[in-house]
Chain A
Amino acid sequence: MYLPLLSAAFSAFAIALYVMLDGFDLGVGVLLLVQRAEHLRDQMVDSILPTWDGNETWLIMAGVTLLAAFPVAYGILMPAFYLPVIIMLLALGLRGVSFDFRYQVVGKRRRFWDIAFGFGSMVAALMQGLIIGGLIQGVTITGDHFTGSVFDIFHLFPLLTALAVLAGYVVLGGGWLHLKATGILHSFAERILRDATPIFAGLAILSCTMAAFVQSSIEAAWAAHYVALILIAILFLSTSVTLMVAVGGRSDILPFALALILFALGISGIVLVIFPDIVPFRLSLWDAASSTLSQVFVLTGAAIVTPVVLAYSAFAYHVFRGKTPGKGWEG
């Protein structure tokens, strides 16, 4: 009975890493939309160029683990979130090719690919937020099958969480640029962090409050974990305030680290509320788990691949540490 728990823990680990790592490069992508100077957009793309694709591997890890270890949950969640998942993948595709196509052209045409880049990043962020909102709102199931509508997701609460995730990724992206950029771009990052952090904190609080109204099971979760959840809320607010103070301060990495902590707190809160369900408030992870052999297979794969990907990522971040050079990594 501990195997599904391990698989779920690995899924949660992969999703958390995905959100925190791809979150900042999606955030930088979104910020391309509000940066008018081409050479600064070049620097922004350069800052995420070496690591963005490594960051996205965690999404695949989470998806594969869900499919192999919790096929019943996969069978319910994929149809339920079909539209946001497909739109997210198309948006990530658009963003992925923009990385290379933008270097083929200059001027207005590069601007075109930068808008595609920013638009793709924004749509991907919004769709991920929609999915989180849809999970908490709850999906309609009968037995082990999804029987709701694919449009159930486009309700007020998921739309609110979509905006919250978008704002959160912008904070992460701003924090990343605060760490990697110098000069004008660094000031740009400071301005973004000052504007986006209060918006993110506000939307996050609003989402948590509204969650209790759209999902009655939240109250039971509150009653069961109120000490931990209140602690998380207090830490979230104090971290947000510290982030605001740290912007433009002596440490370039501090705002980014604090933004990562904000996300870690948010994810812990969500895990605390939905555990031990894999389809929140509907199906426990044990009810959705595949056979022991499948679990062992998935976990063996995860045990081999995870250290390799972690080592590769750590190496990439180490090689490209410090400030992004003004003329790109080749200069």
Chain B
Amino acid sequence: MMGMVFYGFRVMYGIAIVMFGLVVASLWLRWQQRLFTTRWSLRTLVIMTPSEIVATLGGWYTAETGRQPWVIWGILRTADAVSPVPSGALLSTLIAFVLIYTLFITAFLIYALRMIRRGPEAAPDQAEASGSLKNALRPQVMGNVTEAHPALKE
């Protein structure tokens, strides 16, 4: 248990420092007007994409394992808070949960990777203020990224 707390916290904190370093570097590059064209920075940002999930999990494990045997520190013990649902039922729903979320993440990765492979040019031009929720969160820059940053055309 102590190992989980030790490494969980350090994973979270280490990633946070790397993230902060990238923020400072990105601000510097933006100020120099090189943020959208500096390859090492763009590649690092791609690699860093899943880092926030890892950092969140690190923090989560730190909190969940570090407070044992309490579920609410000093007030309620985990052993006293266990639900009356039998473990067989819990295990089956956990398996169902893993299976269905495996389907979700597989489909998501297939579609997301295909979208990345096609590149920003393949994204349809956005109608202005269509009012559609489907597109509300898509960045407006997607359609004309090469116009805004000609250096990316190479």
Chain A residues in contact with chain B, CB under 8 A?
49-50, 78-79, 82-83, 86-87, 90, 93-94, 97, 100-101, 103-104, 145-147, 150, 319, 328-330
Counting residue pairs across A and B whose Cβ atoms lie within 8 Å, the total is 51
Q: Determine the chain A residues whose CB is within 8 A of the CB of B101 once the complex forms.
A: 93
Q: Is the CB of B100 within 8 A of A79?
A: no
Min CB distance A106 to B, Å, is 13
Of all chain B residues, the one with the shortest Cβ separation from A76 is B84
Min CB distance A268 to B, Å, is 32
> Of the candidates A83, A86, A145, A329, which one forms a contact with B130 in the assembled complex, judged by CB atoms under 8 Å apart?
A329
What are 7 of the A-B contact pairs (CB < 8 Å)?
A: A49-B133, A50-B133, A83-B89, A146-B84, A329-B130, A329-B132, A330-B132
Is B104 an interface residue when CB atoms closer than 8 A count as contact?
yes
Chain B residues in contact with chain A, CB under 8 A?
83-86, 89, 93, 96-97, 100-101, 104, 107-108, 111, 114, 127, 130-135
> Of the candidates B83, B96, B114, B130, which one forms a contact with A79 in the assembled complex, judged by CB atoms under 8 Å apart?
B83
User: CA of A179 to CA of B93 in the docked complex: distance in angstroms?
Assistant: 38
Of all chain A residues, the one with the shortest Cβ separation from B84 is A79
* Contact flag A330-B130 (CB < 8 Å), given A90-B97, A101-B107: yes
Q: Determine the chain B residues whose CB is within 8 A of the CB of A150 once the complex forms.
A: 85-86, 89
Q: Is the CB of B89 within 8 A of A82?
A: yes
Q: Is the CB of A103 within 8 A of B134?
A: yes
Q: Determine the chain B residues whose CB is within 8 A of the CB of A329 once the complex forms.
A: 130-132
Q: Determine the chain A residues whose CB is within 8 A of the CB of B134 once the complex forms.
A: 49, 100, 103, 330
Q: Determine the chain A residues whose CB is within 8 A of the CB of B130 once the complex forms.
A: 329-330
Q: Is the CB of B84 within 8 A of A97?
A: no
Q: Determine the chain B residues whose CB is within 8 A of the CB of A147 once the complex forms.
A: 84
Min CB distance A239 to B, Å, is 33
Min CB distance A162 to B, Å, is 18
Q: Determine the chain B residues whose CB is within 8 A of the CB of A50 once the complex forms.
A: 133
- For the complex with contacts A78-B83, A145-B84, 15 further pairs of A-B residues with Cβ separation under 8 Å are A49-B133, A79-B84, A79-B85, A82-B83, A86-B96, A90-B96, A90-B97, A97-B107, A97-B108, A101-B107, A103-B134, A150-B86, A329-B132, A330-B130, A330-B132
Q: Is the CB of B100 within 8 A of A83?
A: no
Q: Is the CB of B104 within 8 A of A93?
A: yes
User: CA of A157 to CA of B83 in the docked complex: distance in angstroms?
Assistant: 26
* Contact flag A86-B93 (CB < 8 Å), given A104-B111, A319-B131, A329-B130: yes
Min CB distance B139 to A, Å, is 17
* Contact flag A97-B104 (CB < 8 Å), given A50-B133, A329-B130, A330-B130: yes
Q: Determine the chain B residues whose CB is within 8 A of the CB of A93 once the complex forms.
A: 100-101, 104
Min CB distance B37 to A, Å, is 30
Residue of A90, A146, A147 with most chain B CB atoms under a 10 A cut-off:
A90
Closest 8 CB pairs of A and B: A104-B111, A86-B93, A82-B85, A330-B130, A79-B84, A79-B85, A330-B132, A329-B132
Q: Determine the chain B residues whose CB is within 8 A of the CB of A94 once the complex forms.
A: 100
Q: Determine the chain B residues whose CB is within 8 A of the CB of A104 once the complex forms.
A: 111, 114
Residue of B84, B93, B96, B130 with most chain A CB atoms under a 10 A cut-off:
B84
Q: Is the CB of B111 within 8 A of A330?
A: no
User: CA of A86 to CA of B98 in the docked complex: distance in angstroms?
Assistant: 13
User: CA of A155 to CA of B123 in the docked complex: distance in angstroms?
Assistant: 51
Q: Determine the chain A residues whose CB is within 8 A of the CB of B135 once the complex forms.
A: 330
Q: Determine the chain A residues whose CB is within 8 A of the CB of B100 once the complex forms.
A: 90, 93-94
User: CA of A79 to CA of B85 in the docked complex: distance in angstroms?
Assistant: 6
Of all chain B residues, the one with the shortest Cβ separation from A101 is B107
Q: Determine the chain B residues whose CB is within 8 A of the CB of A87 once the complex forms.
A: 93, 96
Q: Determine the chain B residues whose CB is within 8 A of the CB of A49 once the complex forms.
A: 133-134
